[in-house]
């Protein structure tokens, strides 16, 4: 499972970084979102991967999954969601004000 | 438990929320609430600074979840000084903003209070994930403030700023995830103790985690490969916001100083002093790049923005030696550079509004309306920033150069700081002569410039408009007059930071210190 998880994370990060390096705002925002997802998954596994364990302490079991990373991920998801919402609005406004959806505000023919 | 510690966070939070609710009420109400809150926070942080300077490290346990489990606020001398500088600067910037800048958008005062909350929180928190949360509060408010007033240039600079910081937040989480996965704690004092006992198998990952965090802090502090967002974002935003942001790069400096002395200090076992080979060279190169930018800028506000970069380079180069004397000297320089850059941003804005065509661009134009007033203000700020004798720039730089003299890299630091200072002086001298001397004469020299046609619509500054700038400038001679106590305080701060056992004992008690010692630390 560890191998599968790390391959998924790696692919997500690679796609996110690739999209982030594009010139238009829409792929960049997609890239930021993808990177955010990958980071949230990474943060989640900082409590290690377990199967069949209670999420919080249970009297019948000796072991339990670390609840703290779950709380951290929840915080990170909320913050990341707000940030993406903000950057989408900003990108819309920028394309209105600069007349282009390029991150540097360039026109079509300048590329 | 001293409840005053949490007041610099709760007050702006509450006031910001009230201002949001009153969004459609008059601007006068927003201004009154914002000013009252900022003034109160300044007074409270002043009291906290006095407590911290004379007493031990204090801790505020949120929700009474005792450390290392809950989130804590820690007031030591360094954080007390930083929240006082922030609050005082915010109050003065707000005094300037209420003269008209805040009318360009409805939510200026609410965002300003949330900004104050975020910065103060980042300085006070003792928990590394909570630091992330306060960073995000600070950044989200700053995104709004950077874009305040609108315009194509602001939007473009703002977009770069927002996207870079979003990437920075993701990287911060990766660093925190690595460290939590290996250490199992997020409380900074507890992390320090656990790191001291960390097995050497994890050395590479622990060091990588520490250096990934440095990448994020370097973005906040605007160190070399990561400063390109700053000149446009600071140069094109509204003046009071740029002036307040003079303290935002210092958040990065503070966090570097805190994390790499407390968690990754001498006692950190396998990851001890992980930053020491990196910080000094990176900071020196930043100083060089910033100084070149200062000379190359064609716009007064951008010149000052590059001065922020150069000052961060200077500050971190001195801190990068990690000596007690050097840190003490950096503590003396920090308030000086923050307040003087802020003053310069405000003065540049006053100059810009009174120039008819050129604005803040460094091209000849007709003389400004109030030549004597603006000329004197500019001269005062330039002397202070440039580091000329009577004002605080000189004493602060001498203190820093003396502080690093025993370090092996001292010749590099001395020569680069001095050359950087010279380039800054040249740039300021050139800017001053273009703005005030190389002017295109008005058609006929008359008694009052304001009654003439081209000047008829420009603002004329009253005493109330100049007042916050004068206060900011007056801080400079005060820093010289009280140089003795300030330097003593700098040593007291440095002594506290360079011995993290005080911090750990205040947070976790003496058992934790014993555990730290047993790991073979100092």
Q: Distance between alpha carbon B435 and the CA centroid of its chain, in Å?
A: 28
Binned at pLDDT 50, 70 and 90, residue A67 comes out as: confident
Cβ contacts of B95 within 8 Å, gap of 6 or more:
B35, B467, B468
CB B19 within 8 Å of CB B38: no
The pLDDT, as a whole number, for residue B444 is 55
Structure tokens at B457: 């619509």
A94 to chain B nearest CA, in Å? 6
Gap between the Cα atoms of B41 and B16, Å rounded: 13
Contact residues, chain B, for A91 at CB < 8 Å: 159
Task: Tell me how far apart the alpha carbons of residues B211 and B417 are, in angstroms, rounded to a whole number.
Answer: 26
Question: Which chain B residues contact residue A46 at CB under 8 A?
Answer: 177-178, 180-181
Contact with chain A for residue B160, Cβ under 8 A: yes
Whether residues B186 and A68 touch (CB distance < 8 A) is answered with yes
Q: Does the beta carbon of A47 lie under 8 angstroms from any beta carbon of chain B?
A: yes
CB proximity under 8 Å: B 42-101 to A: none
- For residue B61, the surrounding DSSP H or E stretch is strand B58-61
- The Cα–Cα gap between B507 and B1 comes to 13
Contact B166 A87 (CB under 8 A): yes
- CA dist B187 → B127, B177, B207, B224 (Å): 4, 13, 18, 30
Residue range of the domain that includes B463: 290-481
Contact A45 B181 (CB under 8 A): yes
Which of A84, A85, A80, A108 is CA-nearest to residue A24? Answer: A108
Task: Name, in order, each residue with C-beta under 8 angstroms of B34's C-beta and a sequence gap of 6 or more.
Answer: B15, B19, B94, B98, B109, B112, B113
Would residue A99 be called left, alpha or beta, if left means φ above 0 and alpha means ψ between -120 and 50 degrees? left
Q: What is the pLDDT of residue A109?
A: 58
Do B160 and A103 lie within an 8 Å CB cutoff? yes
Tokens representing B86 are 């922030």
Inside any domain, residue B430: yes
CB atoms within 10 A of CB B481: 11
Q: Distance, in angstroms, between B516 CA and closest chain A CA?
A: 24
What is the distance in angstroms between the Cα of B27 and the nearest Cα belonging to chain A? 25
Cα separation, B401 vs B403, whole angstroms: 5
- Separation of alpha carbons B212 and B218, rounded Å: 10
Q: Which residue has the tokens 């509450």?
A: B14
Q: Chain B contact for A83, CB < 8 A?
A: yes
Q: Is B445 part of any domain?
A: yes
How far apart are the C-alpha atoms of B500 and B521, rounded to whole Å?
11
* Distance in angstroms (rounded) separating the CA atoms of residues B129 and A45: 16
In the beta sheet, which residues pair with residue B52? none
Instruction: Please give the Cα distance from B110 to B299 (Å, whole number).
Output: 30
* Structural domain count, chain B: 1
Instruction: Take residue B281 and report the two structure tokens written for it.
Output: 């060279």
Task: Tell me what percent of chain A is helix, strand and coil, each rounded to the nearest 5.
Answer: 65, 0, 35
Q: At what angle do helices B463-481 and B392-403 cross, to 10 degrees?
A: 40
Residues 6+ apart with CB under 8 A from B378: B347, B351, B432, B435, B436
Secondary structure (DSSP) of B44-91: HHHHHHHHHHHS--EEEEGGG-TTTTS-EEEE-HHHHHHHHHHHHHHH
Residues 6+ apart with CB under 8 A from B55: none
Q: Is residue B166 part of a domain?
A: no
Sign for the pseudo-dihedral over CA of B295, B400, B231, B388: negative
Residue B63 backbone class (left: φ over 0; alpha: ψ -120 to 50; beta: rest): left
Q: Which residue has the tokens 């030696």?
A: B321
Of B232, B188, B241, the C-alpha closest to B79 is B188
**pLDDT tens digits, chain B, 522 residues: what are they?**
789 999 999 999 999 999 999 888 888 999 999 999 999 999 999 999 999 999 899 999 988 888 888 899 999 999 999 999 999 999 999 999 998 888 888 889 999 999 999 999 999 999 999 999 999 999 999 999 998 887 888 888 889 999 999 999 999 999 999 999 999 899 999 999 999 888 888 899 999 999 999 999 999 999 988 888 898 889 888 999 999 999 999 999 999 999 999 999 888 888 888 898 999 999 999 999 999 999 999 999 999 999 999 999 999 999 999 989 999 999 999 999 999 999 999 999 999 988 877 888 888 888 888 888 999 999 999 999 988 888 999 999 999 999 999 899 999 999 999 999 999 999 999 999 999 988 887 765 544 555 555 566 778 888 888 999 999 999 999 999 999 999 999 999 999 999 999 999 999 988 888 888 887 544
Residue A110's pLDDT is: 53
- CB-CB neighbors (< 8 A) of A20 in chain B: 167
Chain mean position to CA B128: 19
Helix, strand and coil percent figures for chain B, each rounded to 5? 75, 0, 20
What is the chain A residue with the closest CA to B69?
A68
| Ranges assigned E (strand) in B83-195 | none
Q: What is the pLDDT of residue B521?
A: 45
CA dist., res. B412 & res. A6, Å (int): 44
pLDDT number for residue A46: 87
Is residue B32 in some structural domain? no
What's the 3-state SS for B266-300?
Answer: CCCHHHCCCCHHHHHHHHHHHHHHHHHHHHHCCEH
Instruction: For A47, list phi and psi in degrees, rounded to 5.
Output: -90, 15
Query: Are B493 and B78 within 8 A, CB to CB?
Result: yes
Nearest to B376 by CA among B398, B351, B341: B351
Q: How far, in Å, CA of A78 to CA of A81, rounded?
A: 5
Q: How far is CA B150 from CA B157, B326, B348, B455, in A?
A: 11, 42, 19, 25
- B510 in contact with chain A, both atoms CB, cutoff 8 A: no
Give the number of other Cβ atoms within 10 Å of residue A81's Cβ.
Answer: 12
Q: Looking at residue B447, what is its pLDDT? A: 46
| Residue A66: closest C-alpha in chain B | B184
Q: Is B153 at the interface with chain A, CB within 8 A?
A: no
Task: State both tokens at B222.
Answer: 């605007």
Positions of E strands within B67-150:
72-75
Res B511: pLDDT: 85
**Structural element, H or E, at residue B194:** helix B188-196
How many angstroms away from the CA of B281 is the closest CA of chain A? Answer: 28
Angstrom distance (rounded) from CA B294 to CA B230: 13
Helix (H, G, I), strand (E, B) or coil at B453: coil
Backbone angles phi, psi at B293, to 5 degrees: -60, -40
Pairwise CA distance, residues A78 & A12, whole Å? 20
């Amino acid at each position: 499972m560890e191998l599968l998880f790390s391959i998924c994370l790696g692919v997500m990060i690679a796609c996110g970084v690739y999209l982030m390096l594009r010139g238009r705002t829409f792929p960049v925002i997609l890239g930021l979102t993808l990177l955010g997802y990958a980071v949230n998954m990474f943060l989640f596994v900082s409590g290690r991967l377990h199967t069949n364990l209670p999420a919080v302490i249970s009297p019948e079991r000796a072991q339990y999954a670390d609840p703290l990373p779950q709380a951290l991920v929840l915080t990170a998801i909320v913050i990341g969601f707000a940030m993406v919402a903000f950057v989408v609005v900003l990108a819309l406004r920028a394309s209105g004000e600069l007349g282009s959806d390029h991150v540097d505000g360039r026109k079509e023919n300048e590329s | 438990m001293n409840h005053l510690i949490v007041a610099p966070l709760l007050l702006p939070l509450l006031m910001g929320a009230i201002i949001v609710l009153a969004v459609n009420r008059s601007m006068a109400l927003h201004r009154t609430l914002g000013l009252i809150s900022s003034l109160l926070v300044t007074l409270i942080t002043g009291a906290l600074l006095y407590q911290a300077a004379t007493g031990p490290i204090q801790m505020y346990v949120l929700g009474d979840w005792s450390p290392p489990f809950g989130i804590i606020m820690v007031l030591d001398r360094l954080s007390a000084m930083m929240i006082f500088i922030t609050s005082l600067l915010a109050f003065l910037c707000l005094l300037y903003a209420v003269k008209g800048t805040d009318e360009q958008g409805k939510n200026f005062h609410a965002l300003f209070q949330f900004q104050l909350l975020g910065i103060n929180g980042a300085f006070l928190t003792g928990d590394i994930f909570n630091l992330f949360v306060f960073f995000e509060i600070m950044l989200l408010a700053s995104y709004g403030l950077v874009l305040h007033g609108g315009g194509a240039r602001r939007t473009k600079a703002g977009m770069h700023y927002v996207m870079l910081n979003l990437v920075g937040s993701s990287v911060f989480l990766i660093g925190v995830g690595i460290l939590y996965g290996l250490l199992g704690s997020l409380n900074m004092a507890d992390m320090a103790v656990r790191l001291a006992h960390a097995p050497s198998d994890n050395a590479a990952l622990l060091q990588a985690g520490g250096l990934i965090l440095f990448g994020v802090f370097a973005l906040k502090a605007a160190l070399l490969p990561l400063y390109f967002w700053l000149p446009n974002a600071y140069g094109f935003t509204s003046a009071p916001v740029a002036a307040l942001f003079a303290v935002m790069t210092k958040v990065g400096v503070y966090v570097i100083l805190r994390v790499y002395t407390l968690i990754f200090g001498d006692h950190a076992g396998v990851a001890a002093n992980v930053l020491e080979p990196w910080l000094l060279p990176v900071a020196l190169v930043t100083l060089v790049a910033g100084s070149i930018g200062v000379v190359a800028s064609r716009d007064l506000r951008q010149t000052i923005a590059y001065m922020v970069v150069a000052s961060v380079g200077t500050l971190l180069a001195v801190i990068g030696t990690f000596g007690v004397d050097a840190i003490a000297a950096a503590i003396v320089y920090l308030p000086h550079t923050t307040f003087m850059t802020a003053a310069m941003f405000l003065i540049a804005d006053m100059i810009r509004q009174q120039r008819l065509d050129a604005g803040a661009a460094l091209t000849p134009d007709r003389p400004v309306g109030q030549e004597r007033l603006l000329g004197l203000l500019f001269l005062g700020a330039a002397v202070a920033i440039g580091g000329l004798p009577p004002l605080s720039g000189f004493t602060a730089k001498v203190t820093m150069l003396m502080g690093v003299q025993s370090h092996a890299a001292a010749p590099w630091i001395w020569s680069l700081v001095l050359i950087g200072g010279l380039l800054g002086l040249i740039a300021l001298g050139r800017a001053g002569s273009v703005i005030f001397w190389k002017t295109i004469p008005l058609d006929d020299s008359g008694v009052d410039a304001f009654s003439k046609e081209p000047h008829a619509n420009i603002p004329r500054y009253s005493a109330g408009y100049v007042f916050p700038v004068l206060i900011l400038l007056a801080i400079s001679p005060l820093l010289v007059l009280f140089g003795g106590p300030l330097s003593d305080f700098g040593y007291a701060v440095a002594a506290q930071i360079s011995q993290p056992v005080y911090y750990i004992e205040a947070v976790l008690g003496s058992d934790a210190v014993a555990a730290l010692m047993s790991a073979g630390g100092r």
